[in-house]
Amino acid sequence: MASEHEKFWEHRSYAVVGHAAKRNFPQLTYRALKRLGRKAVPVDPSVGEIDGDPTFPDLQSLPEPVEAVVLEVPRQETCDWVAAAAGAGIREVWIHMRRETPEALALARENGLHVLSGHCAVMYLTRGFSYHAIHKGIVKLIGRY
């Protein structure tokens, strides 16, 4: 049976949010979603394109709605992006490991968002052997997958 974290990746469309001027854009997540045939829309207020695809500066600017959002931004920005997801009507939110804050999680609860956090997105999205596969194996072994 699929875990709640695995089920998150069954959506058809995602906004992948990063801030390349402060931290590398989450290209592994973005590329993996595209390889899996999901619609992935890059959101980054600091650059105009990711992998040749135009970026959008915020969630309100997306050309069409998405089912879920992946936040891989600096911790100090997480709460603002959770608020932006709520404002854009995106109810499914993944906050990359070590990017969550108590304020962001509280805001998500207050707005009725379904949030998953504390895990690396890439270990759910990549296939084959890699350090992400090792991470996945350890997390499964300790029962947190």
CATH topology of domain 4-141: Rossmann fold (3.40.50)
pTM value? 0.88
Tens digits of residue pLDDT in 25-34:
889 999 999 9
Grouping H, G, I as helix, E, B as strand and the rest as coil, residue 15 is: strand
- Where in the chain are the domains? 4-141
- Average pLDDT of 102-119? 96
- Rounded to the nearest 5°, which phi and psi values hold at 118? 85, 5
Q: What is the pLDDT of residue 144?
A: 61
Residue type, position 109, single letter: R
What does the mean pLDDT of the chain come to?
89
In terms of Cα–Cα distance, which of 74, 16, 9 is closest to 36? 9
Q: CA-to-CA distance for 45 and 12, rounded, in angstroms?
A: 23
Region 39-60 average pLDDT: 96
Asked whether the CA dihedral 60, 64, 66, 71 is positive or negative, the reply is negative
Phi-psi region of 119 (alpha: psi -120 to 50; beta: other; left: phi over 0): beta
3-class SS string, 16-72? EECCCCCCCCCHHHHHHHHHCCCEEEEECCCCCEECCEECECCHHHCCCCCCEEEEC
The confidence score (pLDDT) of residue 133 equals 55
